[in-house]
Amino acid sequence: MQRRTFLRSTAVAALAAVPLTTSLSGSASAADIPVATLAQLQSAINSAAPGDRIVVADGTYTVPSGSAINITGKNGTAAAQITIVSKSRGGAVLRGERGFVLSGSSNITISGFSFRQSTTMEIPANCSAIRLTRNDFQLADTGDPYWLVVRADDTKIDRNHFHDKTTAGIFIVVDGSGPTAMAQNLHIFRNHFSDHSFTGANGGEPIRLGVSSRALSGAHAVVEYNLFERCDGDPEAISVKSSDNTIRYNTIRDSRGGIVLRHGNRSVVESNHLIGGTDGVRVYGNDHRIVNNYLSGLSGRALVIGSGTTRDHNTGETEDERRGNDACDRAVIVHNSLINNTGMLSGETRTYEPQDVTVADNLLVGDSGSLVAMGATSGFTWQTNLLWGAAGDGNIPSGGFTRADPLLSQGTDGVLRLSSGSPAIGAATLSSAAVADDIDGDQRGSVRDIGADEYATAPVLRHPLTAADVGPNAA
CATH number at residue 143: 2.160.20
**Interstrand relation of 408-410 and 416-418 (parallel, antiparallel or unpaired):** antiparallel
> Domain of 334?
2-21+134-469
Q: For residue 105, tell me if it sits in a domain.
A: no
Q: What mean pLDDT is reported for the chain?
A: 93
161 occurs within a structural domain: yes
Whether 64 is in a domain gets the answer no
Using a 10 angstrom Cβ sphere, with 0-12 exposed, 13-18 middle and 19 or more buried, the burial of residue 2 is exposed
**pLDDT band per the 50, 70, 90 thresholds, residue 2:** very low
Span 51-58, average pLDDT: 98
High-pLDDT (> 70) share of the chain, %: 94
Provide CB contacts within 8 A for 244, sequence distance 6+: 218, 219, 220, 264, 265, 266, 267
Q: Tell me, what's the pLDDT at 16?
A: 35
Assess if residue 36 is contained within a domain.
no
- The pTM (predicted TM-score) of the whole model is 0.94
* Residue 14 resides in a domain: yes
Say how far apart CA 222 and CA 244 lie, in whole Å: 9
- Cβ 310 vs Cβ 332: under 8 Å: no
**How many independent structural domains does the chain possess?**
1
Four-CA torsion 7, 12, 14, 15, nearest 10 degrees: 130
Residue 410: inside a domain: yes
Size of the chain in residues: 475
Mean pLDDT of 227-238: 97
Contact 285, 325 (CB under 8 A): no
Q: Are 264 and 287 in contact (CB under 8 A)?
A: no
pLDDT confidence of residue 253? 98
Measure the N-to-C terminal CA separation of the chain; round to a whole number of Å: 33
Structure confidence by residue, pLDDT tens digits, 308-338: 999 999 999 998 899 999 999 999 999 999 9
Nearest to 197 by CA among 189, 188, 206: 206
For residue 14, the one-letter residue type is A
Torsion angle, CA of 390/395/396/397, rounded to 10 degrees?
120
Q: Is residue 178 part of a domain?
A: yes
For residue 95, is it within any domain?
Answer: no
